[in-house]
Amino acid sequence: MLFPGASSFPRPRVLAALSLIAFLAFTRPIAARAGAQIVNSNGSVQVQQGQSPELKGVPGTPYPLSEGDRVRTGPAAAAVILLGDGSKVELGADSDFLIEVSTPGLTRIFLKVGLLRSWVKKLAMREFSVRTPTVVASVRGTEFRVQTQFDGRTAVDLFDGLLNVRDNRGRDFTLQPGERIEADFMGALSGPQKAELRRTAPPASTLQENARREVGLDMKKEEVLEAAARELKLAEYQQGKAMIDVNGYRVRLEQYILRPQPDQFKLVVLNERADRFDYFYYMGTFNKTLPTDLSLALRQLGGQLDSAPEYWLTGFETGRSNTRDSIREAALGGHSVDLNANGDVGDDVTAFFDPAADRYVDATGRAVFQTIFDKYGFYVNGTLKYGWTGANLQAYANRNWSVNTDPITGAALGANLPIQSVTSTFPDPNRIHQNIYESYDDGTFVSWDNYIIDDEGKQAGIGDFAGVTTGSAFKQRLLGWNYEQVVTATEFQGRKIDLVVAPRIMIQVGLIP
């Protein structure tokens, strides 16, 4: 949804239909905690936590890791791991990685097989080492790469700093920048040698290329544009134009929709201005393979009257970023529930938009099926602000609000979450401008300003949508307008995320039915 919390806030009648765009504001990201975390993943990435015998797929990022956790990447997969001290490890395809020790003074990781590249923070009084079946590389402040074969043969490349490498026979060698050292399957090092080392990116079958293949958070502008160029080749719908935003700045808008997997769809929105770059993505996973005509499934996102829909979301992830700050939300465990028969009168639906009738109809006493998610988390700059959990929830009134654990991963948090309160106002009685203000008892806030503007940046007035708030007439009128959302937060330190979205593409695919 572009408008956050759409189902939670009452609106004037002129905004009721606009809440359909709120699918863009399923607005709330995934957790980070002090310590190691997977901050980016691509392809099949699995984690085995501590002594657990199970390997589980990573549902979203950031994904917290602890001592004893094992990370495995599949073919053509990659993962970026940020350690508690700010050091970074990039894992390539077909890699098996274990965090042996992670404390303020010592980090020790084990690479059983595969490829990793490390950037180690220059911190005094701290040891960082990478162990393989045949060698141990110990470092303080450097950039290096380790590749281990299934038989234990290992190659270590040093790009910057100094690196000590010890083999299984206890022999030590110190590498200088631009040197490589190799160990055979018995663990015997051959001695450092000068090598032609590429610093720009590992081979395309591994790391950087894989980790940046899809648009996601924690990406620089150039990385977003490169990933978008690849995704555009697979896009089924796309749109682009230049326009003026609500503050009078020219913005180049690009947006497209594709299906990353047979049961998924992804919407990406790119905004480029002279002095800033903002982007948004929404990826939803459905209960089954999507039809050839995506609109058949996307039109059911809002639910269905009288009978359960054929398609519903089992999970979703959204991300917003200005390439420095981010807002992310994630939800899991989606299932279809008849809200008018779940025992909670507070969520009963009395009016429901019927696409066949092209208008809202009386739903009193009728079944109204919509999706409820068992797990949900909302994150600002990687930190969980709030979330909930449940087991086959039949009503959100029964959800368990997260207090000191991450709702998506179940990881313990360092402190209890703050208490949130929300207000929704319309600052100008003559213009369509909604402000949603979330305040927290730790003194922080998140503020959302939502506008409807034309291509010249003029705000829509209440009269511009008078008498056409639903159905085909509303969609026709909406084609001449755009949505803009400006998000500020305490964590942004005066910065903002400023996104413009054109509704045409969402009308085409049924996201606005």
Q: What's the sign of the alpha-carbon dihedral 49, 53, 54, 55?
A: positive
Mean pLDDT highest for which of 37-46, 187-196, 281-290?
A: 281-290
| Measured CA angle at 58 (ends 57, 60), to 5 deg | 145
The helix (H) or strand (E) run that includes residue 71 is: strand 70-73
Average pLDDT over residues 405-410: 88
How confident is the model over 462-490, as pLDDT tens digits? Answer: 888 776 656 677 777 778 889 999 999 99
Spans of all domains in the chain = 13-29+217-508, 37-207
What confidence score (pLDDT) does residue 123 get? Answer: 52
Regarding predicted confidence, which is higher, 278 or 113?
278
Mean pLDDT highest for which of 209-223, 430-444, 496-510?
A: 430-444
pLDDT at position 261 over 60: yes
What confidence score (pLDDT) does residue 141 get? Answer: 60
Distance of CA 96 to CAs 167, 261, 320, 480, Å?
A: 20, 25, 31, 52
pLDDT at position 167 over 90: no
How confident is the model over 211-251, as pLDDT tens digits? Answer: 446 787 778 888 888 888 888 888 888 888 999 999 999 99
- 316's CB contacts (< 8 A; 6+ apart) are 26, 282, 283, 284, 285, 329, 330, 331, 334
Confidence bin at 437 (pLDDT 50/70/90): very high
What confidence score (pLDDT) does residue 338 get? Answer: 94
Distance CA 29, CA 328 (A): 3
Would you give the DSSP letter of residue 461? B
Please report, rounded to a whole number, the percentage of residues in the chain having pLDDT higher than 70: 86
Distance CA 478, CA 490 (A): 33
Average pLDDT over residues 22-37: 42
pLDDT at position 17 over 70: no
CB 270 within 8 A of CB 279: yes
Average pLDDT over residues 412-429: 89
Quote the tokens at residue 162: 């100094």
CB 214 within 8 A of CB 233: no
pLDDT at position 11 over 50: no
How confident is the model over 122-141, as pLDDT tens digits? Answer: 654 467 888 888 888 887 66
How confident is the model over 337-380, as pLDDT tens digits? Answer: 999 999 888 888 888 877 777 777 888 989 999 999 999 999 99
Which top CATH class is 37-207? mainly beta
| Burial degree of 54 (CB within 10 A; 0-12, 13-18, 19+) | exposed
Give the count of beta carbons closer than 10 Å to the beta carbon of residue 382.
21
In 3D, which of 405, 419, 422, 380 has the Cα closest to residue 29?
380
CB 134 within 8 A of CB 153: yes
- Average per-residue pLDDT in the chain? 81
How confident is the model over 264-321, as pLDDT tens digits? Answer: 999 999 999 999 999 999 989 999 999 988 888 888 888 889 999 999 999 999 999 9
